[in-house]
Amino acid sequence: MPLNPKIKLNPKLFDKDAEQLPIRKGYGDGLLEAGKQDKNVVALCADLTGSTMTSTFSKVFPERFVQMGIGEQSMASVASGIAAMGKIPFLASYAMFSPGRNWEQIRTTICYNNQNVKIAGAHAGVSVGPDGGTHQAIEDIAITRVIPRMTVLTPCDAIEAKKATLAAAKMKGPVYIRLAREKTPIITTEETPFEIGKAQYFFMPSGAPQVGIIAIGALVYNAMVAAKELEAEGIMATIVNLGTVKPMDEKTVIELAKTTGAIVTVEEHQIHGGMGSLVAQACAEKQPTPIEFIGVRDVFGQSGEPNELIEHYGMGVSHIKQAVKKVIARK
């Protein structure tokens, strides 16, 4: 099994009936746990308590929950005020509305103001599905990673999302946690370590690696499937899960570029300004390496089934395999 044995990933990952959970569920579970651990944890939500899983917390701690109504802009600044009094507010909505609609409030009243606020953006990516392009945030990494002080977390499954939420509560400073709507395979286990700012090797092929795949979010699963199939074809790909997009674990990224000599980045986001462009920037500065980018190419999403959309926008397993072959040819 090519799964990195040190981090105890889900051994049933490649089974047909592998367990699936929505990444956002991990946020709800993590928020509740953080609330139990620290009475200063407070939650805010803008009329989406069920679908952001904030209700997991608000049902247990109603006195520490603020129902904002559909007011994402005010929500960001109210959270700033709550943090100014020494509390740890978590605010949640769909990523399109927060950090989408309320970007300036996040920039000025949270980040410029250096307040300890955590922002959870649910329903990120085209995999939101039938709701269509209005609700598919594929720009949220770009607009959060560009703000000084912001930490950007992109958990790959519900278990990692829970750990990311707990870690966000414990660190000081603004954090954006990117969540997805659909049920996706559980890749990690409770035993898998998690540390903000640390990338992890998920897939280590049997032979000398020819390419490094850096993936985030639910697409880490597609990357794993691609790497497994490639291995059977005799192409060796190593996978790194970049659970923290910012601050990026540059050491691991450069190490991967050095050892493989070719990189493919995989994200459910615009390739402009997303994770891949950060990787490219780091490589251009420290280790020039051919890179292929999997992601949305400067268009908006549309209605459809999640898998249909992932395929349509070129983020399926076959696309990752093609990109791997292409980048190896460029070496």
Partner 1 sequence: MPHLHDEKIKFLEGKANEIRQSIIEMLLAAGSGHTAGPLDMADIFTLFYFHILKHDPKNPAWPERDRLILSNGHICPVLYAAMAHAGYFPVKELKTLRKFGSRLQGHPHREWLPALETSSGPLGSGLSQAVGMALAERMDHGKATPKFFYCFMGDGELDCGQIWEAAMLAGKEKLHNVIGIIDRNNIQIDGFTEDIMPMEPLKAKWESFGWHVLEIDGHNFEAINDAVGQAQAVFEKPSVIIAHTIPGKGVDFTERRFEWHGNPPGLGPEDVIKKGEQGKEALNELRTLGGKIKSEHQ
Among 33, 72, 250, 268, which one carries the catalytic annotation? Answer: 72
Tokens (6 digits) for 39: 């009475």
Say whether residue 101 binds partner 1 (CB under 8 A): no
- Taking the least distance from each CB to partner 1, the nearer of 58 and 73 is 73
Nearest to 118 by CA among 56, 182, 157, 161: 161
The reply to whether 69 sits near partner 1 by the rule CB under 8 A is yes
CB of 77 to partner 1, least distance (A): 3
Residue indicated by tokens 């803008």: 46
Q: Which is nearer to partner 1, 119 or 262 (CB)?
A: 119
Q: How far is the CB of 115 from partner 1 (least distance, A)?
A: 9
Q: Is 63 a catalytic residue?
A: no
For β-strands 200-203 and 237-241, DSSP reports them as antiparallel
Tell me how far, at minimum, the Cβ of 114 lies from partner 1, in Å.
6
Question: What angle (nearest 5°) sits at the alpha carbon of residue 272, between those of residues 199 and 314?
Answer: 85
Report the sign of the C-alpha dihedral through residues 191, 268, 31, 41, in that order: positive
* Contact call for residue 161 and partner 1 (CB under 8 A): no
Least gap, CB of 318 to partner 1 (angstroms): 46
The nearer residue to partner 1, 114 or 189, going by C-beta atoms, is 114
Look at residues 214, 229, 156 and name the one whose alpha carbon lies nearest to residue 9: 156
From 32, 43, 78, 245, residue interacting with partner 1 (rule: CB under 8 A):
78
Helices 317-329 and 219-232: crossing angle in degrees, nearest 10, is 60
The interface region with partner 1, picked from 78-86, 127-135, 187-195, 304-312 by CB under 8 A, is: 78-86
CB of 203 to partner 1, least distance (A): 43
Listed in order, strand segments (DSSP E) in the chain are: 20-22, 41-45, 65-67, 88-94, 118-122, 151-153, 175-178, 183-185, 200-203, 211-215, 237-241, 244-246, 263-270, 291-296
- The site map against partner 1 for 40-59 (x = CB under 8 A) is --x-----------------
C-beta separation of 41 from 83 below 8 A: no
Count of positions on this chain that bind partner 1 (CB under 8 A): 30
Q: Is 87 in the site for partner 1 (CB under 8 A)?
A: yes
